Amino acid sequence: MNESLKWALKEIGFTREIERAEHGFCSECGEAVSIKDFKDEISIKEYKNGSGYCQGCQDEIFRS
């Protein structure tokens, strides 16, 4: 996630979620995240550059 997006998200109240993802945890549930747990490249990109959700949260939220 780029720095300007991180700053904007923190400014609107997502500080905890950003910090979780930066430290290897799911921004939604707080569980530790391992890249090997993701089922495909799209899911990895979603975690790294998007929501910071683990595979389980992605599956639940996006209903895949």
Q: What is the pLDDT of residues 2-54, one digit of tens each?
A: 788 888 989 999 999 999 988 999 999 999 999 999 999 999 999 988 789 99
Copy the structure tokens of residue 9.
Answer: 């998200």
pTM of the predicted protein model: 0.81
Cα–Cα distance, 38 to 10 (Å, whole number): 26
Q: Which domain holds residue 13?
A: 3-62
Question: Helix or strand or coil: residue 5?
Answer: helix
- The number of domains in the chain is 1
